[in-house]
Structure 1
Amino acid sequence: MLRPESFPDHLAERITTHSADRPTAPRGEFVLYWMRTAVRAHENPALDVALIAAERCGVPVFVYHALSERYPYASDRHHTFILEGARDVEAECAQRGLGYAFHLERPGHRAPALKQLTERAALVVTETMPVPPLDWLTDGLADDAPCPVWSVDTACVVPMPLVEKAHTRAFAFRDDTAAWRAERLRRPWPEVAVQGVPFVPANLPFEPVRLATADLPALIATCEIDHGVGPVPHTRGGSVAGYARWHAFRDGGRLARYAAKRNDATIDGVSRMSAYLHYGMVSPLRLARESAMREGDGPEKYLDELLVWRELGYAFCYWHPSPTSLDAVPGWARETLAAHERDPRDVLSWETLARAATDDPLWDATQRSLLRHGELHNNVRMTWGKALPLWSENAAQALDRLVDLNHRYALDGRDPASYGGLLWCLGQFDRPFTPPVRILGTVRPRSSADHAKRMDLSRYRAQVSRPAMTAAPSVLVIGAGVSGLACARTLHDHGLTVTVLEKGRGVGGRLSHRRDGEWRFDHGAQRFSTGDRRTQLFAESWVHDGVLVAREDGFTGRGAMTALPKHLARDVTVRTGVQAQSLQRVHDGWRVTDHEGESHSANVVVLAIPAAQATALLATSEMHSPITPQLSAVRMAPCWSTMVVFDGPPPTRVSQEIVNGLLSVANDERLAQCWREADKPGRPTHEAWVVHSGAAWSRANLERDAATVAGEVAPRLRERLGIAGNVVHAVSHRWRYARVEQGLDVACVWDASLSIGAAGDFATGGASATSDVEHAWLSGVAMAGRILGR
């Protein structure tokens, strides 16, 4: 049986066993190294443990590296950074003679590969990461594995298991670990030789991705993740880019000046290594060792940040029973925050915060840095975090938002160092400050207004407001329905220049609202539901901000269904009454000519219109694009929508048949769905109805005159409702492309060679969405993701 204590001391002190006295599997084919947060094949204690264990067991090592769609805050940003790092480690493993395979979870590639590999392993080795979900996954795997499961500290110079308690003050941690730190700081890391030839098991339960040649943006686009958080091209993932950044900091004079310059967010005075340290793409052992070889205040201060404040967070999370909950905050802080819970405050929605729309100039700039660049200078991060309790209902919600906004956008999010900083905002690693202040009580305040006075705010705002892309493209979106607006707003939030062209008089597409004199109707979509995790926070925010009203059967717009598209269009340049007539490819992009002969140019074009209209417009370009046959495969059903007003209500017996404002008529296609406008919150009380005729009847009567259709549907509805009064208004509207009959199993379609794409509710991507509106939203965001990842 393998015992951790039998390993060399520099490795034994780093091992945590997760399987109590479970013997090494006697028939194990290999030692499985499950790579997660030490994405490197050098100075990697977990890999070294696996190599020594394999040699002792007489089996080879296999490096299994995987990326799930289901990890918290999975997005194009995190996926891109991880995959770029995986590409480097694939090459490094090949150079060292190590067998390595990468498993990317996506449609058609969702087998439980780790479980199946574990059943064949003699031992599983992974990295110690004492925060969810990785700690839960490690323990869960150990509970079911037939072999031992070990984790190894790959992140700290002073190993987490040595510390033995969760320190709550940095000075105490610094003092208690000083001797261990001094002993290990200058010690070279001894590499373990690789024995034998590269080994990859036969019959792998997944198809490995060949990262060296893979089209990463195309692969990422197939994953069911958040495509609205774009990659950060200026922070490329991997050991190569990580060490290049480190060497520039170390040798370019910034390490020497670190103590004096590190607090100025407007200059390049810090290392910006936290993302690479978070994913273990660089060795913290090497960075510490090389810093210790330099003299001066700069290296000394850098080591204090790297080895005290950073490792304090890791050790705290390792030893505290609930390191990511409010229970991790000291009792005095919880008590003072609870005592001030009823203090007046302006509670802002999640979307307002996420989109940097609070009207606090410094805070919005810091959030924009996170949103666009995936990073936040540590000095302003503290001010950013201290503001969130002021805009949240209570401390628990404040912590949830701190975690969400940091982990969703920051490339260095989701690790113990992040939690250390976030918890500090609520009093952790700190002491009480008197006198108490509003909301925070005796938790240390940090005013954004005061901070703004100490810095060149205009310079900082200019720095963080630029797009992350070096040469950000201009974009024309044709169509101002939900998909077009979702795409445009996502791109706008990332700093791109976007213009939306809409042929109608207003925005909304099938979320349109019609006024006929005194009468008002939602004559398109009546409401929508959400079933996908990626829309949940947006929907909750839209309700909070008064855009939507939540109902048992979904959401409806407050006052009109156009409330949502108008909200989405608020910050975007939209030109209504402009119908695109033709496309022409030019050397740097596209020229769109409208119905009045005016030209509109951009590098990228998005067709957010019905697939048949998109196909026809593409045909004018005389360019062959692979998206044309894709769009041609879409089939849409029409719908006649008839708006009717009566001068009296239906009888009580009929009203009882109406459920959530809907009367379904199964035996009459003309009256397939009858919606009562007065049953929607905030609508007029007059007896107004919208009838959606069935697809078959609408198709058979598609070319009839609208007045004729209204003249047939209105009396039919009056008869069905049993209304004694008269029809006082009736008008019909033809939706030629109303419902998806045959869609595409992709989230959007994109031609990277021509920089043109299409989005809409016809592109479902296999998502678990529950309405066409949600499909449209997800498709538009996915389209933005393709552009941001180009």
Structure 2
Amino acid sequence: MDHSLPTHLDERLRWLVRPDQTRHGPGEFVLYWMHNALRGHDNPALDVAICLARQNGLPLLVYHALSEDYPYASDRFHSFMLQGHRDVQRELTDRGIQSNFHLQRDGARGPHLRDLTRRAAVLVTEEMPVQPLVGWMQRLTVRTTTPIAMVDASCIVPVPLVGHAYANANEYRDATEHFYHQRVGVPYADQPLDVDLFDGSMPFPAFDLQDACLTSLIRKCRVDHSVAPVIDTPGGSRAGYARWDEFKANGLADYSKRRSNAADHRGSSRISSYLHFGMVSPFRIAREADRAGAQDYLDELLVWREMAFHYCFHHPDAIDSLDGIPVWAKETLLQHVDDDRQKSCSWETLSRANTGQPLWDTCQQSLLKHGELHHSARMTWGKLLLPWVPTPGRALQLAIDLNHRYALDGGDPSSYGGILWCFGQFDQPVEPESKVFGRVRAADPDHAEANLNLAQFQQIVDRPITPLAPRIAIVGAGMAGLTAGRTLHDYGLDVTVFEKSDKVGGRIATVKAVADADAKSDRDGKTSIEGLHPALSFDHGAQYFTARDSRFCRYVQSWIQDGFVQPWLGRMVELGLGGKVIAEKMDTGRYVGVPGMDQVAKHLAADLNVRLETNVVDLLRRGDSQWALVDAAGETHGEFDYVIVNATPVQSSALMSGHSAMATQIAACDMKPTWALMIQTDGLKSLDFDAAFINDGPLSWIARDSAKPGRMNFGQPDGGDTSGTEAWVLHASNLWSMAHIDDHPEMVTDELLAALQQVTGLAPGNVVHALACCWRDAVPVDPIDRECLWDAAARLGACGDWCGGPRIEGAFLSGVSIAGEVLRHLTIDRRAT
């Protein structure tokens, strides 16, 4: 293969797999995979591909795609990148280049990059020395034999010209000054398109983004819907250059004076996210800054940004751990690992900006709501994690997680550079040593606040994520409704939750005698109470929850750290005929709320506006776009711009009827009932398991509720000796419950106690207390194969465990999903109109 190139392109090329290192065949085309240079101009990678196609007489194939499998994949990044892909698709078309775009989503997944690479004579792509790109390229070299050319399209001084990483800005500046002097002001000349374009078969259909509904596309992608798009930072070259031009006209001349002030929203260019994805050309930015004589801006753009890029290039496997900082910094931080910390903050406390430290929380709110953080504020933000978490390694992990999850430039080498600086990289050791930080430069939030107009900074951060300032009503305070409310509330939206019961949680329920002794019925069914003592409580709904999806797992781990969730490690078995143990059921991690399952719901509802004992029975349309809610007492609540319903299918369908076609779809979702029996007894102590799944007979589940973590040991209430008793929860099978749905609770109690004796071989003994409850809508027969339902035109949504899956995890993800629908409607759709 002929691969001679013009000098300005050749200096940017690095062969990951050289043509002379492989026996790969001639190939059908030259493949250009575009991922971090989403522009059709000033693009060395595109130009290398054109040159190689020209020299070898092959057609050119331009492929760009958006995967679901990158770290921290979310609505925020997907919307930003889809807008970028749409712009570059249009720009390439204007140049006469057909691009082939693929979006990974439901019904459209496959190893297309691998398959196209195998067909290509050579693969050309951009250099990006961070994960997941490094890992993807490594796997591609194993799975194909195609020559692979990496091209630096991000740096003015390309990585092949700099032989090693620099850990000091002055050293890097001195070593590269002559390179920059030769390149900064040189105009970039795009290669002429004088090659054929490949028009053969493709493994996916052509996808035109120009008129596509991005909201609908993102809905089909398996990404985190809780991280909302940023309405005032749209993706794409047009938006990126518009921001740059505005800064060039109104901020660049004063950059030296204003750049360190995080409270000055116009003091920095705010184009780092556009540079990360290559939507704007660093060559053009540098040329224009050079013409303006903005030397301080050039120093930031070229020296600090590109020094971080070169550092990541030489240490791609180290930058996500303490191995990515200097030896002296790592050693001193570890020497102080046993120092007393100020506090211990969980991931959720940090991500929701609830530490109580005003400056840090404002910084985190900037990341959460607006996807950006001023570079000077990031210094204090990153360093303050060290005294708030147990180890420096964990502090670095959290800094990377929070930055990369929310910042639109997260994952960029420059972003890594800013984070690693907080832990000593690109800095010098200081004396004397300080607590926790050792010889790493410490953070002083009081000093930082003294040099910052915090009130002005907070005012900038508190700007609404959308100018509409909508009011949102949520009907039902179950897991899905509370999760939706909590997600929307964190973005500063006005949310009101209406719940017909006197407590939140729905089936994440814990019955407490002192609260429920006079109740005639529980949320969805009937109860029979026989003198429960005031300290008694049972988890009579959901018995535990599992965590499989990463979007849920991170919350569960955080809740464990905060102490209101614990793993349930009791022995669980499967019982067959005659109560014989036929299998151990310890292969799945199970978790419970502490001291009751309802604690999870209470946590989610903690800072929400929840109106209990308000049974919403009707929705009234007000004007073209607002809703009023009517309760069972005839009182009207509202008006609201959006309504989310988290109720049973029967209740949800009734509320939606006449307002949305969703009502028919919801009504088709059938639910099965479950009778629950709660007893306190002394007759089951000899059972050597704590819970059992039962295959036959009236019962489907029994559990020693008092053996769950954080439960109370019974004492001697009211002078009666109940020591030695245990709390047990029994669930009847759905089939039996359906057959006995209208039975009196006392009859249910008798039959289920008899079934308990039959399945265990033990008499229940002295049943001190008993409580029977029927959950009429407990388990969906056939859950709707979507995480939520949404009617954008009506501004109505529905969620619950009958969407996507019947578990608590499914309800959580359903709540996140419907919140995502509202957030996308407020950001992407509103921006489009």
Shorter-normalised TM range: over 0.9
2:696 aligned with 1:667? yes
Among 586, 589, 599, the residue aligned to 2:636: 599
**8 Å Cα contact 1:609/1:760 also seen in 2:** yes
Aligned to 1:69, the other structure's residue is in SS state: coil
**8 Å Cα contact 1:718/1:727 also seen in 2:** no
Q: Superposed, which structure 2 residues align to 1:559-598 within 5 Å?
A: 559-586=595-622, 587-598=624-635
* Worse-matched range after superposition: 318-327 or 107-116: 318-327
Q: CA deviation at 1:466?
A: 2.8
* Alpha-carbon spacing, 1:238–1:651, altered in 2? closer, same or farther (3 Å): closer
**Structure-2 residue corresponding to 1:783:** 818
2:786 aligned with 1:746? yes
**8 Å Cα contact 2:653/2:667 also seen in 1:** yes
Q: CA deviation at 1:198?
A: 4.8
2:735 aligned with 1:696? yes
Among 11, 14, 18, the residue aligned to 2:12: 14
Offset from partner CA, 1:749-775 (integer Å, 9 cap, x none): 1111111111111221xxxx8x60000
**8 Å Cα contact 1:2/1:23 also seen in 2:** no
Give the distance between the partners of 2:21 and 2:40, measured in 1 at CA.
Answer: 28
2:415 aligned with 1:418? yes
Give the distance between the partners of 2:197 and 2:759, measured in 1 at CA.
Answer: 75
Q: CA deviation at 1:200?
A: 4.2
Aligned to 1:789, the other structure's residue is in SS state: helix
**8 Å Cα contact 2:625/2:794 also seen in 1:** no
Give the distance between the partners of 2:814 and 2:802, measured in 1 at CA.
Answer: 9
Offset from partner CA, 1:446-501 (integer Å, 9 cap, x none): 21222112222122112212332222321111111110011000001111111110
Among 441, 445, 451, the residue aligned to 2:438: 441
Give the distance between the partners of 2:93 and 2:350, measured in 1 at CA.
Answer: 44
Aligned to 2:289, the other structure's residue is in SS state: helix
**Structure-2 residue corresponding to 1:113:** 112
Among 244, 247, 260, the residue aligned to 1:246: 244
**Structure-2 residue corresponding to 1:151:** 150
Q: CA deviation at 1:320?
A: 2.7
**8 Å Cα contact 2:228/2:823 also seen in 1:** yes
Q: Gapped runs of 5+ residues in structure 2?
A: 514-531, 570-588, 714-724, 826-833
* Worse-matched range after superposition: 219-228 or 403-412: 219-228
Give the distance between the partners of 2:634 and 2:23, measured in 1 at CA.
Answer: 76
**Structure-1 residue corresponding to 2:554:** 537
Give the distance between the partners of 2:45 and 2:764, measured in 1 at CA.
Answer: 80
* Alpha-carbon spacing, 1:390–1:529, altered in 2? closer, same or farther (3 Å): same
**Structure-2 residue corresponding to 1:451:** 448
**Structure-2 residue corresponding to 1:319:** 314
Matched AA of 2:123: V
**8 Å Cα contact 2:671/2:779 also seen in 1:** yes
Matched AA of 2:300: E
Give the distance between the partners of 2:252 and 2:295, measured in 1 at CA.
Answer: 9
Q: Superposed, which structure 2 residues align to 1:397-416 within 5 Å?
A: 397-416=394-413
Aligned to 1:728, the other structure's residue is in SS state: strand
Q: CA deviation at 1:718?
A: 4.8
Q: CA deviation at 1:609?
A: 1.1
2:381 aligned with 1:343? no
Give the distance between the partners of 1:110 and 1:501, measured in 2 at CA.
Answer: 40
Offset from partner CA, 1:11-47 (integer Å, 9 cap, x none): 0011111113346954322111111100011100000
* Alpha-carbon spacing, 1:146–1:201, altered in 2? closer, same or farther (3 Å): farther
2:413 aligned with 1:375? no
Give the distance between the partners of 2:316 and 2:738, measured in 1 at CA.
Answer: 63
Give the distance between the partners of 1:556 and 1:38, measured in 2 at CA.
Answer: 47
2:669 aligned with 1:634? yes
Matched AA of 2:684: P
Give the distance between the partners of 2:645 and 2:592, measured in 1 at CA.
Answer: 26
**Structure-2 residue corresponding to 1:649:** 683
Q: CA deviation at 1:719?
A: 5.6
Could you list the structure 1 runs, at least 4 aligned residues long, displaced by more than 3 angstroms after superposition: 22-27, 196-201, 718-721
The count of corresponding residues between Structure 1 and Structure 2 is 768
Normalised by the size of structure 1, how large is the TM-score?
0.95
Give the distance between the partners of 1:598 and 1:238, measured in 2 at CA.
Answer: 48
2:44 aligned with 1:45? yes
Q: CA deviation at 1:187?
A: 0.4
**8 Å Cα contact 1:761/1:773 also seen in 2:** yes
**Structure-1 residue corresponding to 2:529:** none
Give the distance between the partners of 2:562 and 2:242, measured in 1 at CA.
Answer: 45
**Structure-2 residue corresponding to 1:389:** 386
Give the distance between the partners of 1:69 and 1:273, measured in 2 at CA.
Answer: 24
Q: CA deviation at 1:720?
A: 4.6
* Worse-matched range after superposition: 10-19 or 143-152: 143-152
Aligned to 2:768, the other structure's residue is in SS state: strand
**8 Å Cα contact 2:662/2:789 also seen in 1:** yes
**8 Å Cα contact 1:167/1:312 also seen in 2:** yes
Q: CA deviation at 1:713?
A: 2.0
Offset from partner CA, 1:71-107 (integer Å, 9 cap, x none): 1000000000000111101101111111212111112
Aligned to 2:345, the other structure's residue is in SS state: coil
**Structure-2 residue corresponding to 1:2:** 2
Give the distance between the partners of 1:583 and 1:198, measured in 2 at CA.
Answer: 56
Q: CA deviation at 1:205?
A: 1.3
Q: CA deviation at 1:637?
A: 1.2
Q: CA deviation at 1:145?
A: 2.1
**8 Å Cα contact 2:53/2:195 also seen in 1:** no
Q: Gapped runs of 5+ residues in structure 1?
A: none
**8 Å Cα contact 1:13/1:161 also seen in 2:** yes
Matched AA of 1:650: L
Matched AA of 1:249: F
Alpha-carbon RMSD across the aligned residues, in angstroms, is 1.5
Give the distance between the partners of 1:733 and 1:195, measured in 2 at CA.
Answer: 76
* Worse-matched range after superposition: 231-240 or 745-754: 745-754
Matched AA of 1:356: A
Aligned to 2:284, the other structure's residue is in SS state: helix
2:457 aligned with 1:460? yes
Give the distance between the partners of 1:568 and 1:449, measured in 2 at CA.
Answer: 32
Among 262, 267, 288, the residue aligned to 1:290: 288
Aligned to 2:229, the other structure's residue is in SS state: coil
Give the distance between the partners of 1:26 and 1:261, measured in 2 at CA.
Answer: 57
* Alpha-carbon spacing, 1:200–1:414, altered in 2? closer, same or farther (3 Å): farther
Q: CA deviation at 1:711?
A: 3.3
Give the distance between the partners of 2:317 and 2:611, measured in 1 at CA.
Answer: 52
Give the distance between the partners of 1:121 and 1:724, measured in 2 at CA.
Answer: 72
**8 Å Cα contact 2:474/2:497 also seen in 1:** yes
Q: CA deviation at 1:598?
A: 2.1
